[in-house]
A = this chain, B = another copy of it.
Amino acid sequence: MSGPLLYIGVDVGGQSIKAGVVTDEGQPLSSVSVPTEAWKGQEHGLEQMALAVEEAARAAKLDLRDIAAIGIATPGTMDIPKGLILDPPNLKPWKNVPVRDYIHGRFRKPTAFQNDANAAAYGEYWAGAGRGVRSLVLFTLGTGIGCGIVVNGQIIEGEHSHGAEVGHIIIEMSQPRRCGCGGRGHLEAYASATALAQRANEALTRGEISSLQALFQTKGQLAPEDAGEVFRAAAMGDSLAQRLVEETAYFLAVGAVNMMHTIDPNMIVFGGGMTRAGPSFLERIREHVRQLAFPVPAAQTQIVYAQLGNEAGFIGAAGCARMLVRQGDR
Contacts and interface: CB of A to CB of B under 8 A. Distances in A.
Contact of A170 (B165, B174, B258, B301): B258
Given A160-B301, A296-B77, A174 B175 contact: yes
A165 B168 CA distance: 19
Given A156-B262, A156-B264, A169-B261, 11 more contacts: A156-B263, A158-B265, A159-B301, A160-B264, A160-B301, A162-B264, A164-B262, A169-B262, A170-B171, A170-B258, A174-B174
A2 interface: no
Interface in A146-205: 149, 151-152, 154, 156-166, 168-175, 181, 183
Given A159-B134, A173-B254, A174-B174, A149 B262 contact: yes
A135 interface: yes
A262 B251 CA distance: 17
A165 B296 contact: no
A111 interface: no
Contact of A264 (B163, B170, B172): B163
A259 interface: yes
Interface residues of A, number: 46
A263 to B, nearest CB: 6
Given A171-B173, A258-B169, A297 B264 contact: no
Contacts of A157: 264
A262 B145 CA distance: 13
Contact of A151 (B156, B181, B183): B156
B163 A263 contact: yes
Interface string A60-100: 00000000000000000100000000000000000000000
Contacts of A48: none
A153 B208 CA distance: 54
A318 interface: no
Interface string A238-264: 000000000000010010011111111
A218 B276 CA distance: 61
A181 to B, nearest CB: 8
A292 B183 contact: yes
A27 interface: no
A266 interface: yes
Given A151-B151, A173-B171, A174-B174, A262 B163 contact: yes
A39 interface: no
- A164, A175, A264 pick with most chain B CB within 10 angstroms: A264
